[in-house]
Every structure is written in structure tokens, then in C-alpha cells.
């Protein structure tokens, strides 16, 4: 049936192209010299062939405006097309609320640099530009701000919280056990102050991000690192002050951008400004536009399974708060990708600080089963810590971007004793037990010595199992992994150096590598998303909900560090 239907569809596409030729010939006369693009939010690397009900990265925002970049791969193809057109002089890139991780920011910078290398001009414009957006802006030939705009170039800051003293004042006592002094998650509830280890961990990541900010700006603005550091220390800036200090090339209202971008030209005795249109308008003016012919044979598929958010047992769903992902949902998605015959390889996209140790191990086992049938690559551009890293171990290889957050191999367990709070409120409850450990889950008291011994034994058992999983996956001994574990957190570059990550690279590289492992001789492939629904849940609700005593592989430090780059969702 397909052999009969596809030629008919392609014939209709050809007829439509020919019928529209006269109109395109007329439109070609006024084809714009500059094309407008809008970078906002967190555009995906690629758009899946079959989109979910809520478009990833655009959920709830409705249809994007024509200039909005909806995927990095689409942006790359657009720039490649424009670079070949001698009539196109350049592009205007508008920055508005860009929230991408460092990995995507690097992709955008390289795309703009490549477009400039083709002899085209890149002009970047914004109203309120932060440090992330400014790094993209520095890749342009000309950086402009609205006269009412601001440049929020102030460096990076991270906040760590300690609730121990506050909880005690409320009458809530936190009882937690952890394996490893670097497993600082329970400190959020047990310590009155942020520990030195927590501070040192966050400072190490701040140093890396700050150094990259300085280097990127210095390269783009052709200044010395010392000058850039002085700029950062003197921020933030109004548009006028930024221009005076040389951080941008000028100020310009949005309405005046067409005139700024090109000289006026004569037409029938009247002056007319050169055009400034989004990419769809440019394509409409092509005499012979690119036609998406339907192939007789379906392209091979690369399955992408997102593991984004706090890992919990059960199913994912929708709701307010930080993201959560259920193990049942991920396992179902992994199995579906494994069963699909068109899917030749799978990329497990991990963006998780961990969560339930049991749920993480369930996901690990599902990934391992699929990896026995077809290549599976785990890719991290934000965070794969604790349970998130455990789940990634099932893949054949783990890829990370240089500034991803990786590691935090360790576990903790505990509960909250709210009896003091209830007493202050005049609420009295009596716990009656039968069995030595029957009250272990009760929030009405702390742990008995017997219960404490049981919990410590369970934490140790799960930690040892975690070490075994890592040692087996990474080809090391448990003792070697233990030296890297106990909750230590690494950047992607440092994780590769110590052997917790196989390669550092981008999403497209990881996808092509996965298809190479599948021995698929095709440069082009389609991406199919499996799973992806998420529910949102706070960390406090995770720890206090359901069974109040539980074992977790979670890293709040990694969660906090994601703020340097943007959101947490898969795109």
C-alpha cells in the first residue's frame, strides 16, 4: 500500500510546487536581505516526528510566533540555507527570556559563529539580557539593546539552605542517616548552617561557570579576561551605560532595527527600507523551495526516553511544583522503545538529581534489558546525580556535556518527628505498637536504637548495591568507586576524567554515535519520543509523603546548580 500511496503524495507535492511558482516569482523580488529569529525559552535539540499532546518546551504557551526558533536543528538548517543565498546579508537574533543549559548555549554560539564564517552578518538585539543571553549575544557581529533595556551581567550566585534550626523551632525533628560525608542532602533538614562541604561543592561549580563566562565574553568582545572581570564586578548596566563601557555596540528601538540593519534603497523614485522578515516569509519567497518528499522507505528511528525530574515510584502526571518522573512511566517508555522495530538505537536523556533509590534501580534494570537488544546511550546536559546517575548506568555509554552535574553516588534515609509541633498545637496522639520495628514509619517519635540499627543497615546495604552497579558498569572495583563516591559531585569534564562518564559531547554527536553503534548506514534519521509526561512535586513533599521513612538517592545540590543554565525538562 505504501508503494502506491507515496508516489501519489509526492505527485501532489510536485503539483502544489508548480502551481505556486508564479506567486513565488513575484515574492522573490522582495525577498528580505535580513531574516529575523527569536531565541526564547528552552528550544529542543530536535523536534520529534510524533509530538506529544503538550509540545515540549512550549507547554501551555500556544503556537509560537513565526520568528521563534522551535528547535536547534531547525535553526541550523535555516542558517545553512541562508548562508548559500547571495541576496541574504545576515540575520537579526532577538533574545527574550532564553533559558537554555550551557550545552545548548554552546550550540547556539557555534551556529552563529559558523554563519559569520560564511560571510554573513549577525546582529543580536534584546531588551533585558542576562549573563547567559549575553554570551550568545557576544557571538554576533553587533550587539544592541533597546534604549530602555538592561544588561544583567553580574556573574553567578548559588544559594544553599539549612532548615534544621527553623524546623526545631516549629517542633519538628529530622532524623536521617546517610552514607558518605559528601551526601549532603539530609543537611537541608538536620543542620542549622550550610556545611563547609556543601559550600566547597557549590563553589567548585561556580568557579567553572564563572571562568567560562569570562572567557566567552572576552573572546566575543575582543577584550582581556581582566577587563571582562571588571565589567562583571561593575554590573548590572543600563543600556546607555553598557554602550558607553563598550559591552554592546549601540542602542536601538525595535522599530528602528530595519533601518539599522541596511541602507535605504531607491525604488520608483521613493526610498524603501530593506526587508526584515521571519524565516517562513523568506521560504515563501524562494522560487524553488525545499520540498519534503515522502520517502518510499521509512527512515530509521532513534528513540529518545526522557528521565527528567525527581524520580519517584509509580506513574508520572501533571501538576504544579518541581518536576517528578515516575518509574512506571519511564520503564514503560524504555520497553516501548525496545520493542519498536524501527527504533535502531535509544538515547536516555537524563536530567534528574535522583529521588527514590528503589525507583531508580527499577529504571536501571529496564534500561539494562533494552541495552542487551539495541544500543542505548545515556546523555546528560544538565544533571545526572544520585538515582539519576544510577539509572544512566544501564546504558552502553554515558555522554555528558562539560558543565553537566554528574555523580553524587550515595544514599540517605530518614523521617520527620512532628510530635513537638502537634504538642504546640494542642494535638495529642498515642502510638501503640506490636513488633520491635512496627513504629519505624511513625512521625510521632524518633527512631529507637533497634530501629536506628535497622535503618543504618538498610542504608549501608543499598549503598553497597549502588557501588556494585557503578563498578560493574564502569569496569572498576567497588573500592575504586568508593573513593569517587560518598556523595561527591562532578562536572561533566571532571566526571570523564575520573571515569564516571565515557565521553563529553553534544546531543547531536551522541545521537549519531548511537546510530553508528546500531550499524545504520544513514546520515539522516527521525527522532521518536517515548514517554515524557511529568508531574511536579516538591522535595519536602517527596520526603514527607507516603511512607515517611524511606531510602533516597537524591542530590539537592545538583538540583540547585541547574539554575545556572535554565530549566530541567527534556527538549
376-385 and 503-504 beta bridge pairing? unpaired
And the C-alpha cell for 292?
519534503
pLDDT at 569: 32
Identify the band that residue 544 occupies on the pLDDT scale cut at 50, 70 and 90. very low
- DSSP at 275: P
Q: State in words which class domain 301-563 has.
A: alpha beta
How are beta strands 121-130 and 142-152 bridged, if at all? parallel
Joined together, the cell numbers standing for residue 309 give 525530574
Cβ burial 518-549 (10 Å sphere, 16+ → b, else e): bebeeeebebbbbbbbbbbbebeebbbeeebb
Query: What is the end-to-end Cα distance of the chain in Å, rounded?
Result: 34
C-alpha distances in angstroms, 21 versus 9, 36, 236? 19, 24, 51
Q: Is 298 helix (H, G, I), strand (E, B) or coil?
A: coil
Domain 2-154+235-284 identical in fold to domain 301-563: yes
Angle at Cα 426 formed by Cα 423 and Cα 429, nearest 5°?
65
3-state SS class at 128: strand
What is the reported pLDDT for 109? 95
Which of the following CATH numbers is that of domain 2-154+235-284: 3.90.226.10, 3.30.70.260, 1.10.3720.10, 3.40.50.720? 3.90.226.10
Is the pLDDT at 551 greater than 60, yes or no?
yes
Task: Please state the separation of Cα 458 from the chain's center in Å.
Answer: 33
Mean per-residue pLDDT, 544-555? 52
pTM, entire model = 0.82
- Looking at residue 526, what is its pLDDT? 85
How far is C-alpha 171 from the geometric centre of its chain's CA atoms? 38
What is the rounded CA–CA span in Å between residue 399 and residue 501?
Answer: 6
The pLDDT value recorded for residue 33 is 83
Pick 108 or 59 by higher pLDDT. 108
Q: What is the average pLDDT value for the chain, to the nearest integer?
A: 83
> Per-residue pLDDT for 326 more than 50?
yes
3-state secondary structure 406-441: EECCCCEEEEEECHHHHHHCCCCCCCCCCCCCCCCC
In this predicted model, what pLDDT tens digit does every residue of 400-459 receive, in sequence order? 999 999 999 998 888 899 999 998 899 988 888 888 888 888 989 999 999 999 989 988
Domain extent listing, the chain: 2-154+235-284, 301-563
Question: How much is the pLDDT for 161?
Answer: 85
Distance between CA atoms of 298 and 2, rounded to whole angstroms?
Answer: 10
Joined together, the cell numbers standing for residue 220 give 566575543
Amino acid at each position: 500500500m505504501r508503494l502506491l500511496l507515496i508516489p501519489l503524495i509526492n505527485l501532489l507535492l510536485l503539483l502544489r510546487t508548480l502551481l505556486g511558482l508564479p506567486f513565488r516569482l513575484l515574492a522573490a523580488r522582495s525577498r528580505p536581505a535580513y531574516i529575523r529569529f527569536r531565541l526564547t525559552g528552552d528550544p529542543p535539540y530536535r523536534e520529534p516526528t510524533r509530538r506529544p499532546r503538550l509540545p515540549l518546551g512550549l507547554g501551555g504557551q500556544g503556537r509560537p510566533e513565526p520568528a521563534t526558533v522551535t528547535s536547534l536543528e531547525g535553526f541550523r538548517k535555516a542558517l545553512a540555507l541562508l548562508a548559500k543565498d547571495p541576496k541574504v546579508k545576515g540575520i537579526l537574533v532577538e533574545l527574550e527570556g532564553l533559558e537554555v543549559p550551557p550545552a545548548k548555549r554552546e550550540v547556539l554560539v557555534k551556529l552563529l559563529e559558523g554563519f559569520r564564517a560564511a560571510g554573513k552578518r549577525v546582529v543580536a538585539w534584546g531588551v533585558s539580557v542576562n549573563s547567559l543571553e549575553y554570551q550568545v549575544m557576544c557571538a554576533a557581529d553587533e550587539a544592541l539593546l533597546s534604549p530602555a533595556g538592561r544588561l544583567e551581567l553580574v556573574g553567578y550566585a548559588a544559594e544553599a539552605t539549612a532548615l534544621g534550626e527553623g524546623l526545631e523551632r516549629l517542633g519538628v525533628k529530622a532524623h536521617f542517616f546517610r552514607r558518605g560525608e559528601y551526601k549532603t542532602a539530609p543537611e537541608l533538614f538536620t543542620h542549622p548552617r550550610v556545611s563547609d562541604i556543601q559550600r566547597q561543592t557549590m563553589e567548585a561549580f561556580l568557579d567553572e561557570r564563572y571562568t567560562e563566562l569570562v572567557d566567552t565574553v572576552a573572546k566575543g568582545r575582543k577584550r582581556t579576561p581582566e577587563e571582562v572581570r571588571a565589567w562583571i564586578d561593575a554590573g548590572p548596566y543600563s543600556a546607555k551605560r553598557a554602550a558607553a563601557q563598550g559591552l554592546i555596540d549601540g542602542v536601538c528601538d525595535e522599530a528602528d532595527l530595519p533601518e539599522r540593519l541596511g541602507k535605504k534603497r531607491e525604488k520608483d523614485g521613493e526610498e524603501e527600507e530593506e526587508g526584515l522578515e521571519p524565516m517562513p516569509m523568506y521560504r515563501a519567497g524562494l522560487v524553488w523551495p525545499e520540498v519534503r518528499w515522502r520517502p518510499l522507505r521509512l527512515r530509521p528511528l532513534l528513540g529518545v526516553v526522557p528521565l527528567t525530574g525527581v524520580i519517584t515510584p509509580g506513574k508520572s502526571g501533571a501538576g504544579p511544583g518541581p518536576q517528578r518522573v515516575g518509574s512506571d512511566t519511564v520503564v514503560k517508555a524504555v520497553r516501548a522503545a525496545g520493542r519498536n522495530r524501527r527504533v535502531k538505537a535509544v538515547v536516555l536523556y537524563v536530567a534528574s538529581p535522583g529521588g527514590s533509590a528503589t525507583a531508580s534501580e527499577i529504571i536501571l534494570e529496564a534500561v539494562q534489558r533494552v541495552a542487551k537488544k539495541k544500543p542505548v546511550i545515556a546523555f546528560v546536559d544538565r544533571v545526572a546525580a544520585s538515582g539519576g546517575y544510577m539509572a544512566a548506568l544501564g546504558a552502553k555509554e554515558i555522554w555528558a556535556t562539560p558543565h553537566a552535574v554528574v555523580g553524587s553516588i550515595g544514599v540517605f534515609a530518614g523521617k520527620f518527628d512532628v510530635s513537638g509541633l502537634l504538642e504546640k498545637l494542642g494535638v495529642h496522639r498515642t502510638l501503640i505498637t506490636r513488633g520491635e520495628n512496627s513504629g519505624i514509619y511513625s512521625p510521632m517519635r524518633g527512631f529507637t536504637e533497634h530501629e536506628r540499627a535497622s535503618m543504618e543497615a538498610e542504608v549501608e546495604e543499598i549503598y553497597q548495591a549502588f557501588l556494585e552497579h557503578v563498578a560493574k558498569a564502569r569496569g572498576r572495583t567497588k573500592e575504586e568507586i568508593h573513593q569517587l563516591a560518598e556523595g561527591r559531585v562532578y562536572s561533566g569534564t571532571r566526571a570523564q576524567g575520573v571515569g564516571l562518564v565515557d565521553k563529553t559531547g553534544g546531543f547531536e554527536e551522541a545521537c549519531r554515535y548511537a546510530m553508528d553503534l546500531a550499524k545504520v548506514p544513514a546520515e539522516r534519521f527521525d527522532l521518536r519520543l517515548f514517554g515524557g509526561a511529568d508531574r511536579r512535586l516538591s522535595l519536602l513533599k517527596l520526603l514527607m509523603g507516603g511512607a515517611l521513612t524511606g531510602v533516597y538517592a537524591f542530590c539537592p545540590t545538583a538540583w540547585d546548580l541547574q539554575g545556572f543554565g535554565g530549566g530541567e525538562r527534556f527538549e
